């Protein structure tokens, strides 16, 4: 009996020593692994997608733990959250993405300064495009959101100034007129007039084949609940407020877009998925006529 008790005691001691060694090894391995891992830092991240021109609210940001590496200085630490709320988004931020310092503009003292976005885009301007312009065709203002990519196409149906008695002709036009040794009176003028009309047909041209970004949308109806549906003053204010897109356009395109808005017979605003870096050739009435003839030939089999 005494031998059995002594044997049991020895077994317990061995078991206790084994458990102690295991725990000590486990703690040592954890400490070694923690020592080899890079340190972490708490930074601010987005709780949902944020677009250019958005003003950050407290529920738009959360705290995320990331490894402190060479890129950590580009993030905004948790302790600076007070300076972020009220800031303006200068670059798109996706859901869960840590917020870069360069993506946020500091909040303005009074209201929101949209021009603050331009600090991140040298060589660009914010161009106001009124959706209520008589010659502008666009989706309803509610179809646009900040960050959308849009294209602007100008349509010219006729020349603003008609030349009645042209005295000189550009080389491009004159090159298409055959010279004769014995011109018939009045025929040269008719040829010049026909060449001029052929050289300047109605046309359509994409001003921004690469697309331009919508920074903010003005004139959206306010978000109201059913309890405030009888507020006629707010409804009247919404009806009288100009509907406008603030577009981020290159500086050299301001004059082109301004002239197109003033003199274009139609200005069409299109929503785009992606742009094209190469310029477009434009599309004229004669291109349309040639396309019609080619399609007709294909369908009818030789144009019969």
DSSP 150-171: EEEEEEE-S-SS--SS-S---H
Identify the helix (H) or strand (E) that includes residue 192.
Answer: helix 187-199
d(CA 258, CA 209): 17
Residues 159, 71: one domain?
Answer: no
7 within some domain: no
Whether 13 is in a domain gets the answer: no
Evaluate whether residue 227 is within a structural domain.
Answer: no
199 and 69 part of one domain: no
Domain boundary among 101, 120, 139: 120
Query: Are 114 and 255 contained in the same domain?
Result: no
- Whether 29 maps to a domain, the answer reads no
Write down the residue that tokens 């959206």 correspond to.
220
Q: Does residue 215 share a domain with residue 112?
A: no
Query: The tokens of 294 are what?
Result: 């080619």
Q: Are residues 158 and 295 in the same domain?
A: yes
Q: pTM of this prediction?
A: 0.55
Please indicate, yes or no, whether residues 113 and 128 belong to a single structural domain of this protein. no
152, 153, 156, 160 alpha-carbon torsion, rounded to 10°: 20
Among 120, 148, 166, identify where a domain stops. Answer: 120
Residues 94 and 194 in one domain: no
Residue 172 reports pLDDT greater than 80:
no
208 and 77 in a single domain? The answer is no
CATH code for the domain of 106: 3.90.1210.10
Among residues 260, 158, 245, 251, the alpha carbon closest in space to that of 207 is found at 260
Q: Are residues 76 and 214 in the same domain?
A: no
Residue 8 within any structural domain of the chain: no
Which two tokens mark 168? 């000189």
Same-domain status, 64 and 210: no
Give DSSP secondary structure letters for 213-273: EEEEEESPPP---GGGTT-HHHHHHHHHSPPEEEEEEEGGGHHHHHHHHHH-SEEEEEEES
Instruction: Determine contact, residues 264/135, Cβ cutoff 8 Å.
Output: yes
6 within domain boundaries:
no
Please indicate, yes or no, if residue 11 is contained in any of the structural domains.
no
Q: Is residue 18 part of a domain?
A: no
| Mean pLDDT value across residues 97-121 | 67
> How are beta strands 40-46 and 61-67 bridged, if at all?
antiparallel
Per the CB < 8 A criterion, the answer to whether 63 and 42 are in contact is yes
pLDDT in tens, 33-72: 666 667 888 899 999 988 877 788 889 999 998 888 777 7
| 46 shares a domain with 136 | no
Please give the pLDDT value at position 152: 96
pLDDT score of 253 more than 90: yes
How confident is residue 175, by pLDDT bands cut at 50, 70 and 90?
Answer: very low
Q: At 304, is the secondary structure helix, strand, or coil?
A: coil
Nearest by Cα to 146 from 97, 227, 45, 218: 218
Same domain, yes or no: 132 and 214: yes
* Final residue before a domain boundary, out of 97, 120, 143: 120
Structural domain that includes position 77: 40-120
Pair of tokens at residue 196 = 């001029």
Q: What is the mean pLDDT of residues 226-241?
A: 50
Distance CA 100, CA 171 (A): 55
């Amino acid at each position: 009996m005494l031998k059995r008790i002594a044997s049991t005691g020895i077994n317990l001691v061995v078991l206790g020593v084994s458990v102690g060694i295991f725990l000590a090894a486990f703690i040592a391995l954890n400490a070694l692994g923690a020592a080899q891992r890079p340190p972490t830092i708490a930074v601010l991240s987005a709780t949902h997608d944020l677009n250019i021109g958005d003003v950050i609210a407290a529920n738009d940001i959360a705290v995320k733990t990331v490894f402190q590496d060479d890129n950590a200085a580009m993030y905004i630490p948790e302790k600076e959250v007070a300076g972020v709320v009220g800031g303006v988004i200068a670059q798109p931020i996706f859901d869960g993405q840590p917020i870069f310092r360069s993506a946020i503009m500091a909040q303005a003292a009074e209201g929101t300064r949209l021009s603050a976005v331009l600090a991140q885009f040298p060589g660009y301007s914010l161009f106001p495009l009124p959706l209520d312009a008589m010659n502008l065709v666009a989706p309803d203002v509610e179809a646009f959101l900040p960050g959308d990519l849009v294209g602007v196409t100008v349509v010219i149906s006729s020349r603003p100034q008609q030349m009645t008695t042209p005295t000189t002709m550009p080389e491009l036009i004159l090159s298409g007129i055959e010279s004769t040794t014995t011109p018939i009176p009045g025929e040269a003028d008719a040829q010049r007039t026909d060449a001029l009309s052929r050289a300047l047909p109605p046309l359509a041209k994409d001003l921004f084949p690469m697309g331009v970004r919508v920074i903010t949308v003005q004139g959206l109806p306010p978000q109201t609940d059913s309890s405030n549906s009888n507020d006629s003053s707010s409804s009247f204010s919404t009806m009288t407020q100009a509907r406008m897109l603030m577009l981020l356009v290159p500086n050299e395109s301001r004059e082109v877009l301004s002239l197109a808005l003033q003199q274009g017979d139609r200005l069409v605003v299109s929503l785009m998925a992606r742009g094209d870096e190469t310029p477009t050739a434009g599309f004229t009435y004669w291109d349309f006529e040639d396309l019609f003839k080619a399609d007709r030939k294909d369908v009818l089999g030789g144009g019969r």
